[in-house]
Structure 1
Amino acid sequence: MPKIVDHDQRRKTIGATAMKVIAERGLEATKLVDIARLAGVTTGAVTHYFSDKDAILMAALEMAYDTMFANMERVKKGDNYSFLDIISKALPTTDESRVAMTVWLAFWSRSIAEPRVAEMQLEFHHRWQNIVSQELIRHYQRTKMPAPKDLESISQSITAQVNGLIIRGLVDKPDWPASRLHNCLKDYLEQIGIKGHQ
C-alpha cells in the first residue's frame, strides 16, 4: 500500500525548516539543498511544493509572522491576560520566537530593494499594528479608562518600541536576555500609562 502523504503538513515542515536555515545562515546563504536535507526530503520534493527559492523564502517570512500571531492567539484564549502579556509575544524570548524574528529582520533589508517583499512585509506589519490597536482598546475597556484620541499614534509608538527591542534582542543577545526585553517593554508601557497586569 502506498504511503499517504499529508501535503499540507509537508509544506509546513519545509517552510518551518526554511525558517531555521535562514535564521542560521541568512537569506543569501540559504540553499534549497540545505532546506531539503534538514527537512528530510529531496530537493525535488521541495520544488514540488515551492516553485523556486524565492517562493520558499517568502513562505518562510509568512510562517515567521504566523508564528507570532499564533502565540498571541494562545494568550487570547485566557480570560485574564494583560496588554503586556500579548504584546510581549512579539519579543524574541524563546528559541521559536528567536527564529521567527530573525527571519522577520532578515527580510527588512531586502524590502528596500524589492517592492514585492516590501509589500508583503507592510501587509503583515499592518496586521500586527491592528492587533496592537485592538488590544489597546480592550485594555482601556477593561480598566474603564477612556481611550485617548491619539490611540493610533500610541499604537504606532508601541510597535516601534517592540521592533527596536526585537532588534536589540537578536543582535545583542548576551546583554538583552528575555528578562531584560520583557522588563524594558513593561517599563515603557507603564511610562505611557499602561500597567502591565491590568
Structure 2
Amino acid sequence: MPRVADHDERRRTIAAAFRKLVADEGLRKTSFVRVAAEAGVSVGLIQHYFANRDELLLFAYQEGLRSIFERVEARIADGEAAGRPISAMLFDGLLELLPLDERRRVEYGVQQSLVTEALTDRALEQVAQEAAVSLHARVATAIENGKECGEVAAGVDAAVAATMILATALGYAATLALPAAESEADAVLRPVLGLVFTGRCRHFDR
C-alpha cells in the first residue's frame, strides 16, 4: 500500500529549514535552492507547497510564533498543575522568548529578521501586530489574575505593567542574542516582576 504523504509535516519541515537558514545566514541569502538543500527535498517539492518565497516566509513566521505560544501555554499548564504562583509561571513563560538554547536562538533570529521585513510587507506586518497584541494580552491577563489572588496590588495598571515587563524581556533577548552573552535571566527579569507582583497568592494560605 503506498505511503500517504503528511502534507502538514512536509510544510513544517520546509519552514523549519527556512528558519534555520534565516537565523544562520540572514533573510537575503535564503532561496528555494538553499532551503531545499537544508531540508533534504527538491525545489519542485517546495514549489508544490509554496507558490513563492513570500508564501514560505509568511508560513515560517506563523509557525515560529505558534511554536512559541504553545510552549508558553505548556509552561502555564505545568505551573497551574503544580500550584505555582502566577509570577513564577509568568517568569517561565518569558523564558520562552529568550534565545537560551539552539531552538530559541533560531526562533529569535527569524522573528527579528521577519519583524524588520514586516516594516515594508503588509501581510507580515499584520501577523507581527497580532502576535504583539496577543503576547501583551497574555501578560496583562496574568497580572489581572495576580490581582485576584493577592499577588498584585489592586491599583496596578495591568496594561502598563505588561508593557514594562515585555519591554524588559524583549530588550534582554536582544542582548542575549549577541555572541558570548551569558544568561542572567533571574537577575534581570525577577526584579522587574517583583515591582508588579508584590504580594503573596492567597491560595497558599488556604
- Same fold flag (TM > 0.5): yes
Percent identity over the alignment is: 23
1:166-181 matched pairs, under 5 angstroms? 166-170=173-177, 172-175=178-181, 177-178=182-183, 180-181=184-185
The answer as to whether partners of 1:15 and 1:59 remain within 8 angstroms in 2 is: yes
* Match status 1:156 vs 2:160: no
Alignment length, in residue pairs?
194
Matching residue of 1:122 = 129
Structure 1 distance, partners of 2:163, 2:58, is: 25
* Match status 1:186 vs 2:193: no
Higher Cα Rg, which structure: 2
1:16-165 matched pairs, under 5 angstroms? 16-78=16-78, 79=80, 80-81=83-84, 82=88, 83-143=90-150, 145-165=152-172
After superposition, the Cα gap between the structure-2 partners of 1:142 and 1:91, relative to the gap in structure 1 and judged at 3 Å, is farther
The answer as to whether partners of 1:76 and 1:86 remain within 8 angstroms in 2 is: yes
The answer as to whether partners of 2:152 and 2:197 remain within 8 angstroms in 1 is: no
Structure 1 distance, partners of 2:120, 2:33, is: 26
Cα RMSD for the two superposed structures: 2.1
Amino acid in structure 2 at the alignment position of 1:40: G
What SS does structure 1 have at the residue aligned with 2:118? helix
After superposition, the Cα gap between the structure-2 partners of 1:111 and 1:145, relative to the gap in structure 1 and judged at 3 Å, is closer
Greater Cα offset, 76-85 or 9-18? 76-85
Matching residue of 1:14 = 14
Unaligned segments of structure 2, at least 5 residues: 202-206
Structure 2 distance, partners of 1:55, 1:182, is: 38
